[in-house]
Amino acid sequence: MQLFVAIPALNELDYLPKTLQALEKQKTKVSFSVYICVNQPDSWWEQADKKDICDNNKQLLFKLRRRHYAFPLHIIDKSSPGKGWDDKNFGVGWARKTLFDHIMNIADPEDILVSMDADTVFSEHYLNSLAKNFEQHPQQTAVAVPYYHRLTNDEAANRAILRYEIYMRNCLLNLYRIGCPYNFTAIGSAIAVKIKALQKINGITPMKSGEDFYLLQKLRKMSPISNWNDELVYPAARFSDRVFFGTGPAMIKGSQGVWDSYPIYHYNLFDEVKKTYDLINQLYTEDLSTPFIAFLKEQFKTEDLWEPLRQNVKDLAHFRHAFHEKADGLRVLQFLKTEQSKMNIPDEQSLRENWPLICHHSLTVFAQEEFSFDELNTEQLAELREKLFEEEMEKRRPSKSM
């Protein structure tokens, strides 16, 4: 088994060296190599407002090529004049696809691709922990690695990333609670996958943002995904507009008080999804109505959701699989977001009412009759994050019987 680390880089001169330092400190007997795609649209060389990014990429390429590293380093130049993306197909999704396709062509089926970002650090045991993880679970095809954003000296960034993590961890814990098969958090810097699994799904689908979510969803439709690894990854908590949605843009919007794209989904909405899950056996033989089913009919623009599935499966087990392929993670999240916008419930109230269902840890902030995220200090936000993180790690951890 070998590990192939794939890192897209755009405007990362200040951050990528820290990631490479973390890689140089790895203590592992497993062979690994690093592939970096420095990328940007080619037209940016002609745009005055993109000059700083172009110069940043140029300097990064120069430094990468000049220095010798303790591991094999391979550079894919998609940023130099004449080598960049066209104006239609560009972004982190295309960078990951370029990296993944290249690695799939040279790696063995049992090798592991480690998806990483250029602003992520980890312990000296991280790569070794991934290798052991796959060795101990040979049937495992992919891991959504646990993550944790360390705080910085930037108060605004700290508040924004804590609020964003509260949103993500609340969602994941509720997905665990209802038994959703798509109970993963998609972070591009926290994914490891077997080459043969990537080959089976024809690699990653290039998108300007969200390619990590669609990758994990495709993998999950093929086989279960592990949510556990002994070592975490620590992505940077920073404001960034390199992608169209995700952590950086969420922090920017959140720092301006705009969290409508990242709400605290109320437990009732997850319960509505679970009510439909509980009816799958009946849906195999008869049509039923629930709010989630009504939403799916609207999304697929059909009143006949299930009969085509029934006609194409041989038994209930295959119908259940077909159901979850249709009502997948994307549809669940779309339902949550659509219905949350109709509820007109403050995020603070949603979290308070969710808390007894998703977290066994008590919290002093809930002793207040009312509280506001804006009025909580950073320490209080950090306590919220910490309790959710502890609960999530318990849910992610495999049972001792496994």
What's the pTM? 0.94
Radius of gyration of the chain (CA): 22
Per DSSP (E only), the strands in 225-276 are 233-235
Per-residue pLDDT at 362: 84
Per-residue pLDDT at 335: 98
Question: Cβ of 342: how many Cβ atoms within 10 Å?
Answer: 8
Per-residue pLDDT at 244: 65
Domain residues of the chain, as ranges? 3-147+185-255, 267-396
Per-residue pLDDT at 262: 93
Secondary-structure class of domain 3-147+185-255 per CATH: alpha beta
Where helices occur in 107-186 by DSSP H, the ranges are: 126-136, 155-178
Alpha-carbon gap, residue 61 to 65, rounded angstroms: 6
- Specify which residues 9 forms β-bridges with: 38
Task: Output the CA torsion sign for 173, 262, 150, 98.
Answer: positive
Per-residue pLDDT at 368: 80
DSSP-assigned letter for residue 174: H
Q: Which residue has the tokens 């989904």?
A: 265
End-to-end CA distance of the chain: 23
Alpha-carbon gap, residue 280 to 316, rounded angstroms: 9
- Name the nearest CA neighbour of 34 among 53, 17, 59: 17
CB 16 within 8 A of CB 59: no
- Name the nearest CA neighbour of 70 among 143, 135, 127: 127
In angstroms, the Cα distances linking 189 to 19, 203, 234 are 11, 17, 9
* Grouped pLDDT means (10 residues each) for the chain, 402 residues: 97 97 96 98 97 98 96 98 94 95 98 97 98 96 97 94 96 98 95 98 86 95 96 90 70 82 96 98 97 98 96 97 98 97 94 95 84 94 97 89 42
